[in-house]
Every structure is written in structure tokens, then in C-alpha cells.
Structure 1
């Protein structure tokens, strides 16, 4: 792959706009009404993470509030079906647009490390979908699943950790590219 890898900037911008639109739909259509209805944030928004007791508290809250349960389910079967895929595609295309990994760090990078960097967006996507599925199982109508209850906090942590690493790498690489001398 060469720098830029032929990905038009308008494609990346379009994906970014779609991500922002779906994020706004999620936030203003579900997260804010959920907080207004229950006084508590959706667990998906806990950037610092949470533990199993927060999951049990959410299960109890949803058992007592049918409106909150419908909001949460609608969020998972609405914008949360497409947002992880859109953001995964955006992150991956941003990495491709920035060029090969070796040029990112100004030195030779082991090929496995280079390939692993390109996997980071997919780790985010899988973790986000895993979090959504775990939430649906943990907060379902039946008896709460012990596995889903234990897995949910870890999926959220993995989601935010991989997302943070992607954003840090993209920012670092964009700044390095901006500061590097132009080769015409």
C-alpha cells in the first residue's frame, strides 16, 4: 500500500457525517430520553467502565420501568445495529488513507505489528456488537444470563480501549503527516 492508498477524502468525510448522524440519533433519540425516564445513563456510555453490580442495578431498574426497557431495546435494534459497522469502516479507511504503518513511525515496523494496527477498528466493531448482544441477553425478558452479565462490563472496556487506541493513533499519524515535509 502506498500513502493515501487511493481512498478519496470525500468517502471518509461521508462516513464521518453518517457516523455523526447516527450518533446524534442514538443520543437524542434514546440516550437522553432514557436518562430523563430513569435518572441513570445507559451502561454503553460509561467510558470508565462499570462492574457487575451496575449490571444488576440496571436489570432491576428495567424490570420496574417498561418505558426504559422499550427505549433500550429500540436503541439496540435501531441505531446500534448500524453505528458499530459505520464507525469500524470509518476507522479502517482512516488508517488506509494515512498510508502504510512503516511510514507512520518513520522507521521499519515488523509486518505483524503493521497488520495488527489495521485490525484495531475490527476489534472495536466486534466488541461493540458483543456489548450490544450481551446487553440484550442480560436485560432480556427471561432470567438474566450469568455469562452475559459477567461479559458485559468487559465488552464495554474492550470497546472503549480499542476506540481510544484508534483515535490516538489516527491523531498522532495525522499530525505527523501534517508536520512532515512534502515530497512532490
Structure 2
């Protein structure tokens, strides 16, 4: 994996535009109407996390409001099916564009460390899909709803933590790339 690795910038820009379009679809097509219908935000948007009591509250709310249940399910079977994959691809390509795998931390690193950093976007993607699956199970009527209720807050935390780490690494790589281009 070589920095820049021949990936045209327009592909990265196209992925970014698609991510923004799907995020807008999710926000204005499902999150805002859900909040309007229930007065409460979708748990996926709780950046600071939440606990099992918030999941129980959401289960009760969804049991009492069929429209909110349909909105949430449509969100998971619509834009939330493709958004994690798009964002994972965007982050991975950004990492490929910005940094050589041997210089992630401003000095030569062990080759495995450099390659392991490329896994960060995939950790985010797996966590986001895990959160979506846990939500569908927790807010469903299946036997595994109890396990999913316990798992859901952790999946959300893992999703946002891995996403934050990806953004920090990408920002650091961009700054290092910019600084190295300014050196005489």
C-alpha cells in the first residue's frame, strides 16, 4: 500500500459526495421525521453514548408508536444499509491517499503497525453494521432482544470511537502531508 496508490482524487471526492447525500437522506428522510413524530432522537445519533435504560425507553416508545417503528425500520433497511460501506470505503481510500504505511507517526514504524492502521475504517464499518443489527434485534419481538439491548450501547460507543480515531488519524496524515510538501 503506497501513498496515493494511483487512486484519482475524483473517486475520493465522489465517495465523499455520496456519503453526504446518503447522510442527508438519513437525516432529513428519517432522523428528523422520527424526532418530529416522537420528540426523541434516534439512538444512533447519541454521540456521547447511552445506557440500557435509554434502550428500554426506546422499546417502550416504539411499542406505542407504529409510525416511529416503521420510520426506524425503513432507515435501517434503506440508507443505513449503504452508508457504513460508503464511509468505510471513503476512510480507507483517504488513508491510502494520505499516508505511506511506514510513516504513520512521523517516523519509520514496524510494517505491521503501518498496515494495521488501514484496518481502522473496517472496524468502524463492522461496528456500524453491528449497531444497526443490534437495533433491529433490540426493537423487535425476537428472543434475542434482551442480548441486543445489552449489546446496543456498546456497539454505538465502538462505532463513534473508531470513527473519531479514523478522523484523527486522517487529519494527522493530512497535516503531515501538508507540512512535508512545504519543506524545501
What secondary structure does 1:180 align onto? helix
1:169 aligns with 2:148: no
Residue pair 2:134, 2:151 contacting (<8 A) in 1 also: yes
Cα 1:132/1:13, change in 2 over 3 Å: same
- Select between 37-46 and 1-10 the one with higher mean Cα deviation: 1-10
Gap regions ≥5 residues in structure 2: none
Residues 1-184 of structure 1 mapped to structure 2, 5 A cutoff: 1-142=1-142, 145-181=145-181
Gap regions ≥5 residues in structure 1: none
What secondary structure does 1:41 align onto? coil
Q: Which runs of 4+ in 1 moved over 4 A?
A: none
Q: How far off its partner does 1:143 sit?
A: 5.6
User: 2:124 and 2:31 mapped to 1: Cα distance?
Assistant: 20
- Select between 20-29 and 139-148 the one with higher mean Cα deviation: 139-148
Residue pair 1:5, 1:99 contacting (<8 A) in 2 also: no
User: 1:177 and 1:35 mapped to 2: Cα distance?
Assistant: 41
Q: How far off its partner does 1:144 sit?
A: 6.3
User: 1:181 and 1:23 mapped to 2: Cα distance?
Assistant: 33
The RMSD of aligned alpha carbons is 1.5
- Select between 107-116 and 69-78 the one with higher mean Cα deviation: 107-116
Cα shift readout 1:131-159 (whole Å, capped 9, x = no counterpart): 00000000013466111001000000000
Q: How far off its partner does 1:2 sit?
A: 2.9
- Select between 96-105 and 130-139 the one with higher mean Cα deviation: 96-105
Cα 1:68/1:146, change in 2 over 3 Å: same
Residue pair 2:2, 2:101 contacting (<8 A) in 1 also: no
Residue pair 2:59, 2:139 contacting (<8 A) in 1 also: yes
TM-score, with length taken from structure 1: 0.95
User: 1:182 and 1:104 mapped to 2: Cα distance?
Assistant: 18
